[in-house]
Amino acid sequence: MLRSVILAASRSSQVERLVATAPLTRDVVRRFVAGTGTDDALRATRELVADGLTVTLDNLGEDTVTPGQATATRDEYLALLRGLAAAGLTPAAEVSVKLSALGQRFDAQLAYDNVRAICVAADQAGTTVTLDMEDHTTTDSTLDTLVKLRKDHPSTGAVLQAYLRRTESDCRELAGVGSRVRLCKGAYAEPESVAYQSAREVDKSYVRCLNVLMSGAGYPMLATHDPRLIAIGEDRARWFDRGPDEFEFQMLYGIRPEEQARLAGEGYTVRTYLPYGEDWYGYLMRRLAERPANLVFFGRALASKK
Ligand SMILES: Cc1cc2nc3c(=O)[nH]c(=O)nc-3n(C[C@H](O)[C@H](O)[C@H](O)COP(=O)(O)OP(=O)(O)OC[C@H]3O[C@@H](n4cnc5c(N)ncnc54)[C@H](O)[C@@H]3O)c2cc1C
């Protein structure tokens, strides 16, 4: 219930204005977001890589409504990839891209041209691109785009969301050789017709999907902060004899950093999802929806007169 309210607020421009102008919002944002510009992103990436982590960078922004916005997002990724290569941060750092930020909702061809340009730049920089997954109305078109991109850029990664009923079958489709698949629980408010509603059902689906991916021939990317699922991931890695270059754990910047360090210290590949940019509102609200404790933290900041 609380989760649905917060997710609804994530689409409200009135709530966005209220949150963006609150005195301590900047401190809260800083916990989850690297900063607003390319330089902030490069600095945070350098620090994470120095700590033995790998990184996937997300230029914040989604649901763009004009071709100009979509092109500006593409250009920011191109600049970021040039910066990562120049700083010697590839291949440890790759990029995550939302097709809605590249125009998917109003011009599918424009979104495709933009993401293809990013894939070409990633190839030149010596790194990879992962297509973030958004709400279920975009799943088919995102997976269609993935198939097209993989013809020329076979390392392009996909994201599958365990809360969707279809995902176990999508995992089977995408568990082939060379296929990079990030498995997450899913972050959007979805109807019962397409998605499991209880945490227990979502967790059970995650384990089924994890089993398919870890027993398959692809490269699984287990994106979760959930201690039980991480333990199951470690167990399956032993069971299926997967070394550190044959799968990875992924977590969000600012969430369970000690666990990220512990796993990296044990020799696993751990990738931190590092968002940056001005457009942090939708991202921050999804993080708050995931965990009531963060809402208390955020409420205190909003109430502060400082
Ligand atoms: C690398 C990465 C990429 C992602 N990409 C996508 C994507 O493309 N599409 C999409 O829909 N979703 C994406 N997600 C979000 C994902 O779907 C979940 O919403 C999110 O990861 C929370 O689920 P969880 O597996 O951590 O489990 P949860 O059940 O939410 O949490 C399990 C435990 O983790 C800790 N924890 C979880 N969240 C927080 C938090 N916000 N603050 C502090 N502690 C926390 C707590 O200890 C909690 O008990 C991504 C997540 C990650 C890690």
Known catalytic residues?
132, 182
- Mean predicted confidence (pLDDT) in 247-262: 96
Other CB atoms closer than 10 Å to residue 178's CB: what's the count?
A: 10
Whether the pLDDT of residue 168 is over 70: the answer is yes
- 22 in contact with ligand 1, CB cutoff 6 A: no
In 3D space, the residue among 171, 95, 98, 93 whose CA is nearest the CA of residue 141 turns out to be: 98
Ligand 1 centroid from CA 225, angstroms: 6
Whether the pLDDT of residue 270 is over 50: the answer is yes
Q: What is the reported pLDDT for 303?
A: 55
- 223 in contact with ligand 1, CB cutoff 6 A: yes
- Mean predicted confidence (pLDDT) in 299-304: 54
Whether the pLDDT of residue 296 is over 70: the answer is no
- 290 in contact with ligand 1, CB cutoff 6 A: yes
Band of residue 302 on the pLDDT scale cut at 50, 70, 90: low
Contact 221, 250 (CB under 8 A): yes
Instruction: Report the atom number in ligand 1 closest to the C-alpha of 272.
Output: 1
Sheet holding 129-131, edge to edge: 129-131, 93-97, 54-59, 270-276, 248-252, 219-223, 180-184, 158-161
pLDDT tens sequence across 213-225: 999 999 999 999 9
Whether the pLDDT of residue 299 is over 80: the answer is no
- Mean predicted confidence (pLDDT) in 194-209: 98
- 207 in contact with ligand 1, CB cutoff 6 A: no
Ligand 1 centroid from CA 120, angstroms: 29
Least confident of 19-33, 117-131, 238-252: 19-33
d(CA 184, CA 163): 8
- Mean predicted confidence (pLDDT) in 140-152: 98
Atom 28 of ligand 1: nearest residue by CA position: 226
| Residue 278, amino acid | E
| Location of structure tokens 């390392």 | 155
Band of residue 306 on the pLDDT scale cut at 50, 70, 90: very low
pLDDT tens sequence across 39-61: 999 999 999 999 999 999 999 98
Q: What is the reported pLDDT for 63?
A: 76
Q: What's the alpha-carbon Rg for the chain, to the nearest Å?
A: 18
- 224 in contact with ligand 1, CB cutoff 6 A: yes
Instruction: Supply the pTM of this predicted model.
Output: 0.92
Atom 36 of ligand 1: nearest residue by CA position: 225
Ligand 1 centroid from CA 215, angstroms: 23
Instruction: Report the atom number in ligand 1 closest to the C-alpha of 206.
Output: 25
Atom 35 of ligand 1: nearest residue by CA position: 225
Atom 43 of ligand 1: nearest residue by CA position: 255
- Mean predicted confidence (pLDDT) in 98-111: 96
Atom 27 of ligand 1: nearest residue by CA position: 226
Mutate to test the pocket of ligand 1, among 48, 226, 272 (most ligand atoms within 8 A of CB): 226
d(CA 148, CA 145): 5
Q: What is the reported pLDDT for 304?
A: 47
Ligand 1 centroid from CA 123, angstroms: 28
- 184 in contact with ligand 1, CB cutoff 6 A: yes
- 226 in contact with ligand 1, CB cutoff 6 A: yes
Ligand 1 centroid from CA 232, angstroms: 16
Atom 50 of ligand 1: nearest residue by CA position: 184
- 139 in contact with ligand 1, CB cutoff 6 A: no
- 250 in contact with ligand 1, CB cutoff 6 A: yes
Cβ neighbors of 81 (< 8 A, separation 6 or more) are 90, 95, 118, 121, 122, 124, 125, 127
Sign of dihedral through CA atoms 226, 232, 234, 240?
Answer: negative
Per-position DSSP letters for 250-289, written without gaps between them:
EEETTSSHHHHHHHHHTT--EEEEEEESS--HHHHHHHHH
- Mean predicted confidence (pLDDT) in 269-278: 96
